[in-house]
Structure 1
């Protein structure tokens, strides 16, 4: 399976001639939308969901109820999933985890629903949360910036999710200096950290 990172939180997975697109948002390059057989969306914020460009792709979308409410024009192409459910999307086995977006400010409370996705028991995308899967994964996608982000819980999340490697995501607000510093905090001998640039790929074995 091949994982390609795009800007911010968007990734594309390719396996057996099929393509799964995760969190294609307003920061995502047009190249991310060139092909997809199915789309996963973790939550409704525009940096994870570009409604118009998602609607232009005639493929099924798997997401939570909050996002589905914004995609009613897509009809039965939209499939609502929730924590604890497993399903298949374009031939990829997917499990859903969690229900809440991370808190940005205490007085705002939980801003919206958020569901993480474990794909092929190998790649875990948490969306805007540090919700942990209940099993080891090959590649853990670690958010490294954002209004809700804080470094200590990010490091704790990376350390407690058993994984073979880490890939940084949710990095659209960082300068090159900020991007370069995360290997210091997240890299380890037994769990290497990869700060992929948009368009860069890794193989998931």
Structure 2
């Protein structure tokens, strides 16, 4: 399986000629949408969901009820999934985890639903949460910047999830200096290698 990182939180997985796209948002490059056979969306915020470009794809979309409400025009192409549910998307085995977006400000409470995805029992994408999977994974996608957390929770999440390697996502707000700093911090966690992919770079899983 091949994993390609795109801008911010968007990744694309390729296996047996099929392409599964996760969280193609408004920051994502047009190339991310090419050849997609199915799409997973963790939550409704525009940095993870580009309604216009997603609507133009003639492919199935798997997501939570909040996103499905925004994609009503797509009809039965949208499937609602929830915590603990296992399903298949474009030939990829997927399991859903969690239900809430991380709290940004206490007075605002939980801003929306959020579901993470474990794909092929190998790659875990948490969306905007630190909900961990219930098993060891090969590649843990770690959010490394955002208004909903600071460095310590990201480090604790990287320590908590048993994985063979970590890859940084949710990084559009970081300068090269910030990216370098997070690489140093995450590379020191649990003896797991940290792979700092830049948009367009790929790795084999």
Q: Classify the TM-score, shorter chain.
A: over 0.9
- The 8 Å contact of residues 164 and 190 in structure 1, kept in 2 or not, is answered as no
Distance, in Å, in 2 between the alignment partners of 1:29 and 1:116 is 22
Pairwise CA distance, 1:190: 3.2
Distance, in Å, in 2 between the alignment partners of 1:163 and 1:116 is 16
What SS does the aligned partner of 2:70 have? coil
What SS does the aligned partner of 1:165 have? strand
What SS does the aligned partner of 1:147 have? coil
- The 8 Å contact of residues 101 and 112 in structure 1, kept in 2 or not, is answered as yes
Offset from partner CA, 1:71-127 (integer Å, 9 cap, x none): 000000000000000000000000000000000000000000000000000000000
- 1:118 aligns with 118
- 1:178 aligns with 178
What SS does the aligned partner of 2:21 have? strand
TM-score normalised over the length of structure 2: 0.98
Pairwise CA distance, 1:51: 0.2
- 2:166 aligns with 166
Offset from partner CA, 1:43-69 (integer Å, 9 cap, x none): 000000000100000000000000000
Distance, in Å, in 2 between the alignment partners of 1:164 and 1:180 is 21
- 2:4 aligns with 4
Q: How does 1:38-187 map to 2 (within 5 A)?
A: 38-187=38-187
TM-score normalised over the length of structure 1: 0.98
Pairwise CA distance, 1:150: 1.2
Distance, in Å, in 1 between the alignment partners of 2:157 and 2:71 is 31
Pairwise CA distance, 1:149: 1.9
Distance, in Å, in 1 between the alignment partners of 2:111 and 2:191 is 35
Pairwise CA distance, 1:182: 1.1
- 1:16 aligns with 16
Pairwise CA distance, 1:183: 1.8
Distance, in Å, in 2 between the alignment partners of 1:162 and 1:146 is 23
Q: Which runs of 4+ in 1 moved over 4 A?
A: none
Distance, in Å, in 2 between the alignment partners of 1:144 and 1:69 is 29
Distance, in Å, in 2 between the alignment partners of 1:49 and 1:67 is 8
Q: CA RMSD in A?
A: 0.8
- The 8 Å contact of residues 26 and 49 in structure 1, kept in 2 or not, is answered as yes
